[in-house]
Amino acid sequence: CIHSSIVCSIDSFGAEEVRLYDRHINDTHLRECLQSLLKRYDQLESADSANNRPLFESIYLIYNLGSNDALLRYGTLPLRLQRHGLVRKSYRLALNYDKRLYYQCIQTLTAIKPPILALLASTKLPKLFHMAIKTMSFAYHSPNTKFPVSTVSQWLCPFESNAQTAEEYIEKLCQSYGLVVVNGSVGFNKTKFAETPQLFANQKWSSFEFKLKELSLPSLLRGRHELSYCEE
């Protein structure tokens, strides 16, 4: 149920499936399933009783980026789980998000290996982009300063192997927030930054698309490919 809900959160379906998809209902089901599962984990006598627990503790952390409850839960986990590579990396991502270290968030995101977890993290990119562009609009606010789009794309799109694709996306992204882009440079301006961006087509990133191509839908839904990552 949890794997299928995460897969449904990723816009990789045909037009008919997207039309029938209700994100609010899907998110509600995912949240309820996760909470029910974590309660059962807490009732176990030993943290070693469930081999896939590190994966689902990590899913909870990333799904709830910005939630104090998720960060506090990490502190209550058995020490062995806190030290688990996958859980620790997910916690670091959540902590960086809480500290508004968006560049570090994106760098950590790209290092997450389990496909279902990486794909879940990718759904947080629009929010990360929004906060990063807003921060730069205030930090680099100047009527005479121009910032290279190529540099911004390297910071925000390290998961895209095609530099031109990344730069074109960042240019459109900045323009959607009301910022001016001229000759490959963006003028960050806090007074022109628009909280609500103009909509444009979602970008499919090469590294995440590669992860999807490696997997079959049945294996993705069942989560069998994730078990090896829980042994870190």
Q: State the pLDDT at residue 216.
A: 61
Distances (CA, A) of 106 to 84, 101, 124, 129, 195: 21, 9, 10, 9, 21
Q: State the pLDDT at residue 13.
A: 45
Q: State the pLDDT at residue 118.
A: 79
Q: State the pLDDT at residue 12.
A: 47
Q: In what order do the strands lie in the sheet with 185-187?
A: 147-148, 185-187, 180-182
Q: State the pLDDT at residue 115.
A: 77
3-state SS string for 58-123: HHHHHHCCCCHHHHHHHHHCCHHHHCCHHHHHHHHHHHHHHCCCHHHHHHHHHCCCCHHHHHHHHC
Listed residue (121, 128, 18) closest to 8, CA to CA: 18
Domains of the chain: 1-229 (1.25.40.990)
The tens place of each residue's pLDDT in the chain, 232 residues long, gives: 555 555 555 554 444 455 666 777 878 888 888 889 999 999 887 766 677 889 899 999 999 998 899 999 999 999 999 999 999 999 999 999 999 998 888 888 777 777 778 778 888 888 999 999 999 999 999 888 889 999 999 999 988 888 999 999 999 999 999 999 999 999 999 999 999 888 776 777 766 665 666 666 566 555 555 555 555 5
| φ/ψ bin of 223: left (φ > 0), alpha (ψ from -120 to 50), beta (otherwise) | left
pTM of the model: 0.80
